Amino acid sequence: MTATVLLIASGILAVIYLLCMTYAAPSALRSAVKTGSIALLAVVAAPVPLLAVALGLCALGDLALSRSGERAFVAGIAAFALGHLAYVVLFRSFDGDPALTNGWQTSGAVGIVAASWGLALALWSKLGPLRWPVLGYIAIITAMGISALSVPAPFAGAVIAGALLFILSDSLIATERFLIRDGAAPRWISPAIWSTYWLAQVLFCVGIVRPL
């Protein structure tokens, strides 16, 4: 019952952020709503400590990214990178045979690597002093996506879908921040970033905690 209430509260905060704060200027309230939505998921994930740690680190990343400035952006990258490393360890810790066959795993891994490599090439000349932090982050989230392909049933469906949504969300962030000229980003891109990201975290949380 408590977990359900927390999930609903997380969803309410997520919708508030989506509808009212996606384009709002940085503020304490905006940071609290964005960070709180994921922090509540970390509480739900308490029965699985590594999952709670990963979500907690992502919440810290949200807190940093809700602020303005390059230092906040780098801090956000660092927090999310640590969160993804926690996800990698978690996904590799599951017992049981992978839900995907070797052929599907290989195809999925090749697709993830190809997409990440393509994004890295597109960003290479655009990143300036952020080049190595961003490219390092791309490598880590790629590892997270590949690790998700090895998860067994009954966790695999939610985990793999969550990993792909997470990669999509971060690809949109990179596109908006580095590949699109200031003021030229389509209006849908920021809501899409938040929606895909929050759904990814919910899938990780519910997909892993509920079947246990």
Identify the band that residue 92 occupies on the pLDDT scale cut at 50, 70 and 90: very high
In this predicted structure, the answer to whether residue 85 has a pLDDT above a threshold of 70 is yes
Asked whether the predicted pLDDT for residue 187 surpasses 90, the reply is no
So what's the pLDDT on residue 212?
Answer: 52
pTM for the full predicted model:
0.94
Question: What pLDDT, on the 0 to 100 scale, is given for residue 182?
Answer: 66
pLDDT confidence tier of residue 183, bands split at 50, 70 and 90: low
**Looking at residues 50-75, what average pLDDT do you find?**
95
pLDDT at site 168? 97
Show the tokens assigned to 62.
């949200």
> What is the distance, to the nearest Å, from the Cα of residue 190 to the centroid of all Cα atoms in its chain?
14
Q: How confident is the model at residue 64 (pLDDT cuts 50, 70, 90)?
A: very high
Percent pLDDT > 90 in the chain is 86
Q: For residue 136, which amino acid is it?
A: G
Question: Domain residue spans in the chain?
Answer: 2-209
Pick 36 or 187 by higher pLDDT: 36
pLDDT band, residue 37 (cuts 50/70/90) = very high
Beta-carbon contacts of 157 under 8 Å, excluding residues fewer than 6 positions away, are 99, 207
CA distance 139 to 137: 5
* pLDDT mean over 132-138: 96
pLDDT band of 69, cuts 50, 70, 90? confident
What local confidence, expressed as pLDDT, does residue 1 receive?
61
What's the whole-number mean pLDDT along residues 93-120? 94
pLDDT score at 180: 87
Give the pLDDT of residue 10: 97
Instruction: Round to whole Å and give the CA distance between 73 and 177.
Output: 11
Mean pLDDT, all residues of the chain: 94
Strand partners, 98: 152
Q: Is the pLDDT of residue 117 over 90?
A: yes
C-alpha 144/C-alpha 163 separation (Å) is: 7
